[in-house]
């Protein structure tokens, strides 16, 4: 397999843009990524795109075709990739394989999204054969409540407090003050977060990411092409995807079996991250920063433990001692995370690649992780989809 | 006259021994399923032998939460909205299942509490009928 370089990063800021179409958002991100790479559109050999069910794609998830038509149809292959909220991460995975395998030399990976208002209904099917639909009508358990269950169990196991949950949101917003692409750029306080409405106890409004509009794009290429473009390319150390295991104990529908080991964890995320670390031959100690999918602040506590970055029950201590800040021992979400950006579902995986890229180039300004050499990006999506990519400089 | 209507058919029943969830179990690998399945989905199971199975009523709360804000459609509830407690319950017969908690004091529901399965009102439909679903009631001790 060939080495894969990351040479172009581009983003449209996250927010609510009622007057712009998803095509307009993607255009901004793609133009920025091409300009950053120093590459013209006609030099792109293929597109790997995240498929959305909320915007663009002509109802079929053909979001990559929308981009190609908008940029100028050159006849190149388009790979539309559907993986729920993990689609951006999975599209990046497909893109790297297109280059690594020698199929294509210069690939654009793109994800853009305009989200409907309010909490999203994860499943798009209203039939009693759909477990999520049944969960809604029989019990009334929307997405945030699913997170609340896991969080409440952690509180019982590790004594996590409501204040600690609030502190994670405070930390995210403290960082986002320095990120011009973030939607929520005003610092907040524990009091303000604790004073925000309870959505699903123990989780409050400011501890759950809202939906946003946004787009991000990345240009990747072969080492040979990269050398023609720049003296300092970034490299894809590894990219991996996985799906959930049958026995991981997370109640995704109405019911499952009580797990034999009593533990419940996102096996798709853990498997993707561990596979990526194995492929890259880089362990937790060799990773300088993590961009993880913080739909809720809870994941900033659970994920690092589930992936072996700290011991069970240690995450609260890392948070309280400032170790998850950009200048800490284990920087988590130096972008400000989903909590500060909101979730433009299928674009999130590429927003993460952009942030990790800017950090590794030393271009992250006030939120810079000092001397960052290796970064991990991770997403999670409906259907039990997980992705993880490790970039290095 | 108003009737008691199950929120979905074939999911639960009131028996003389109490409430039961109606599902399946694989006779080969003992994996429990709710709702029913046609084939065993356990990747290690070599021979799917699905049989009808009833689950409940005894269990323990693995974790719980409170639905503080009114859930979006298609969730159903009576107006004005009243927050309710929900839990993930580990039944003694091996099923981990979600359900609302039947209690007047939603803020006191805690993980590791013993519960029993009941059939209770979810909401009322436009004709005034009582729509029922399964719930869990905390038990003393």
Determine the straight-line distance between the first and last CA of chain A, rounded to whole angstroms.
Answer: 19
What is the ipTM, given to two decimal places?
A: 0.96
Run of H or E including B5? strand B4-6
Look over chain B and give the mean of its residue pLDDT values, rounded to a whole number: 95
Band of the pLDDT at A37, cuts 50, 70, 90? very high
pLDDT at A251: 84
| A167 in the same domain as A77 | no
User: What's the whole-number mean pLDDT along residues A242-265?
Assistant: 91
Residue B70 is classified by DSSP as P
- The CA distance from B66 to B77, in Å, is 14
What number of other Cβ atoms are within 10 A of residue A215's Cβ?
36
| A346 in the same domain as A269 | yes
| A282 in the same domain as A142 | yes
- Tokens (6 digits) for A180: 């011009």
| A250 in the same domain as A330 | yes
Task: Reply yes or no on whether the pLDDT at B61 is more than 70.
Answer: yes
Task: Reply yes or no on whether the pLDDT at A119 is more than 80.
Answer: no
Question: Smallest Cα–Cα separation from A110: which of A23, A175, A21?
Answer: A23
Task: Reply yes or no on whether the pLDDT at A257 is more than 90.
Answer: yes
Among B37, B68, B100, B125, which would you mutate to test the A interface (most chain A Cβ atoms within 10 Å of its Cβ)? B68
B1 vs chain A: nearest CA distance in angstroms? Answer: 23
> What pLDDT, in 10s, does the model give residues B80-131?
999 999 999 999 999 999 999 999 999 999 999 999 999 999 999 999 999 9
The total domain count for chain A is 2
Q: Which residues of B touch A119 (CB under 8 A)?
A: 72
Task: Reply yes or no on whether the pLDDT at A172 is more than 90.
Answer: yes
> What pLDDT, in 10s, does the model give residues A335-373?
999 999 999 999 999 999 999 999 999 999 999 999 999
> What pLDDT, in 10s, does the model give residues A122-140?
666 778 788 888 999 999 9
3-class SS string, chain A? CCCEEEEEEEEEEEECCCCCCHHHHHHHHHHHHHHHHCCCHHHCCEEEEECCCCCCHHHCCCHHHHHHHHHCCCCCCEEEECECECHHHHHHHHHHHHHHCCCCCEEEEEEEECCCCCCCCCCCCCCCCCHHHHHHHHCCCCHHHHHHHHHHHHHHHHCCCHHHHHHHHHHHHHHHCCCCCCCCCCCCCHHHHHHCCEEEECEEHHHECCECEEEEEEEEEEHHHHHHHCCCCEEEEEEEEEECCCCCCCCCCCEEECCCCCCCCCHHHHHHHHHHHHHHCCCHHHCCEEECCCCECHHHHHHHHHCCCCCCCCHHHHHHCCCCCCCCCCCECCCCHHHHHCECHHHHHHHHHHHHHHHHHCCCHHHCCCCCCEEEEEEEECCCEEEEEEEEC
In a domain, residue A173? The reply is yes
- Tokens (6 digits) for A217: 């794009």
| A226 in the same domain as A147 | no
Beta bridge partners of A101: none
Pick the last residue of a domain from A171, A199, A234: A234
Q: Does A201 contact B68 at a Cβ distance shorter than 8 Å?
A: yes
Task: List the CATH number of the domain containing A32.
Answer: 3.40.47.10
| A18 in the same domain as A97 | yes
The total domain count for chain B is 1
Task: Reply yes or no on whether the pLDDT at A62 is more than 90.
Answer: yes
Asked if A272 and A388 count as a contact pair (C-beta separation under 8 A), the reply is yes
Task: Reply yes or no on whether the pLDDT at A80 is more than 80.
Answer: yes
Task: Reply yes or no on whether the pLDDT at B134 is more than 90.
Answer: yes
| A266 in the same domain as A229 | no
User: What's the whole-number mean pLDDT along residues A59-78?
Assistant: 97
In a domain, residue A60? The reply is yes
Q: Which residues of B touch A121 (CB under 8 A)?
A: 72-73
Q: Does B111 contact A156 at a Cβ distance shorter than 8 Å?
A: yes
Task: Reply yes or no on whether the pLDDT at B71 is more than 80.
Answer: yes
Asked if A336 and A324 count as a contact pair (C-beta separation under 8 A), the reply is no
Beta bridge partners of A290: A332, A376
In a domain, residue A341? The reply is yes
In a domain, residue A124? The reply is no
Look over chain A and give the mean of its residue pLDDT values, rounded to a whole number: 96
Question: Smallest Cα–Cα separation from B123: which of B25, B42, B6?
Answer: B6
Residue labelled with tokens 């979810």: B122
In this complex, which of B41, B91, B112 lies closest to A246 when CB atoms are compared?
B41
| A141 in the same domain as A18 | no
Q: Does B35 contact A134 at a Cβ distance shorter than 8 Å?
A: yes
| A288 in the same domain as A272 | yes
Q: Which residues of A touch B133 (CB under 8 A)?
A: 138-139
Task: Reply yes or no on whether the pLDDT at A121 is more than 70.
Answer: no
Residue A387, domain extent: 131-209+235-392
| A225 in the same domain as A195 | no
**B86 CB within 8 Å of a chain A CB:** yes
| A39 in the same domain as A107 | yes
In a domain, residue A148? The reply is yes
pLDDT at A130: 83
pLDDT at A132: 83
Band of the pLDDT at A30, cuts 50, 70, 90? very high
Cα Rg, chain A, nearest whole Å: 20
pLDDT at A129: 80
Residue B106, domain extent: 4-138
Among B54, B55, B56, B65, which would you mutate to test the A interface (most chain A Cβ atoms within 10 Å of its Cβ)? B65
- In A91-120, the residues whose Cβ lies within 8 Å of chain B are 118-119
Band of the pLDDT at B141, cuts 50, 70, 90? low
pLDDT at B68: 96
For residues A12 and B17, which has the higher predicted lDDT (pLDDT)?
A12
**A223 CB within 8 Å of a chain B CB:** no
| A364 in the same domain as A266 | yes
In a domain, residue A123? The reply is no
In a domain, residue A92? The reply is yes
Among A127, A256, A259, A298, which would you mutate to test the B interface (most chain B Cβ atoms within 10 Å of its Cβ)? A256
Which pTM does this prediction carry?
A: 0.96
What number of other Cβ atoms are within 10 A of residue B48's Cβ?
16
In a domain, residue A125? The reply is no
Beta bridge partners of A332: A290
């Amino acid at each position: 397999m060939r080495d894969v370089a990351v040479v172009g990063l581009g983003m449209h800021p996250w927010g609510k843009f009622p007057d712009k179409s998803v095509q307009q958002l993607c255009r901004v991100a793609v133009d920025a990524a091409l300009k950053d790479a120093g590459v013209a559109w006609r030099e792109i050999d293929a597109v790997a795109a995240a498929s959305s069910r909320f915007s663009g794609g002509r109802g079929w998830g053909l979001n990559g075709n929308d981009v190609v038509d908008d940029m100028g149809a050159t006849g190149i292959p388009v790979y539309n990739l559907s993986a729920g909220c993990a689609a951006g991460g999975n599209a990046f995975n497909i893109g790297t394989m297109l280059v690594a395998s020698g199929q294509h030399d210069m690939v654009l990976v793109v994800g853009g999204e305009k989200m409907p208002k309010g909490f999203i209904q994860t499943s798009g099917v209203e039939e009693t054969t759909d477990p999520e639909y049944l969960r809604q009508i029989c019990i009334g358990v929307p997405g945030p409540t699913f997170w609340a269950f896991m969080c409440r169990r952690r509180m019982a196991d590790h004594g996590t407090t409501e204040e600690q949950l609030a502190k994670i949101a405070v930390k995210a917003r403290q960082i986002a003050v320095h990120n011009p692409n973030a939607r929520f750029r005003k610092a907040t306080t524990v009091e303000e977060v604790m004073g925000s409405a309870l959505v699903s106890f123990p989780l409050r409004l400011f501890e759950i990411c809202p939906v946003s509009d946004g787009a991000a794009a990345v240009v990747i290429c072969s080492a040979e092409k990269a050398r023609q473009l720049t003296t300092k390319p970034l490299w894809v150390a590894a990219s991996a995807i996985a799906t959930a295991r049958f026995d991981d104990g997370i109640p995704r529908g109405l019911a499952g079996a009580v797990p034999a080991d009593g533990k419940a964890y996102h096996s798709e995320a853990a498997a993707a991250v561990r596979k990526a670390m194995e492929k890259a031959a880089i362990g937790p100690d060799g990773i300088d920063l993590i961009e993880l999918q913080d739909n809720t602040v809870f994941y900033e506590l659970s994920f690092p433990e589930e992936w072996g970055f700290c011991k069970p029950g240690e995450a609260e201590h890392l948070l309280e001692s400032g170790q998850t800040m950009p200048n800490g021992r284990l920087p988590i979400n130096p972008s400000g995370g989903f909590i500060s950006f909101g979730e433009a579902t299928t674009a999130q995986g590429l927003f993460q690649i952009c942030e990790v890229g800017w950090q590794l180039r030393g271009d992250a300004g006030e939120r810079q992780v000092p001397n960052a050499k290796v970064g991990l990006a991770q997403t999670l999506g409906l259907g039990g989809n997980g992705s993880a990519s490790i970039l290095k400089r | 006259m108003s009737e008691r209507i199950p929120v979905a058919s074939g999911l639960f029943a009131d028996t003389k021994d109490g409430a039961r969830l109606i599902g399946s179990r694989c006779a080969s690998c003992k994996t429990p399923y709710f709702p029913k399945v046609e084939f065993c989905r356990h990747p290690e199971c070599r021979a799917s032998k699905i049989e009808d199975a009833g689950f409940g009523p005894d269990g323990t709360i693995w974790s719980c939460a409170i639905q503080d804000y009114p859930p979006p459609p298609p969730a159903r509830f009576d107006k004005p909205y009243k927050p309710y407690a929900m839990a993930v319950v580990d039944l003694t017969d091996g099923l981990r299942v979600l359900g609302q908690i039947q209690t007047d004091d939603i803020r006191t529901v805690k993980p590791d509490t013993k519960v029993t399965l009941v059939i209770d009102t979810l909401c009322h439909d436009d004709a005034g009928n009582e729509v029922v679903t399964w719930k869990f009631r905390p038990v003393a001790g």
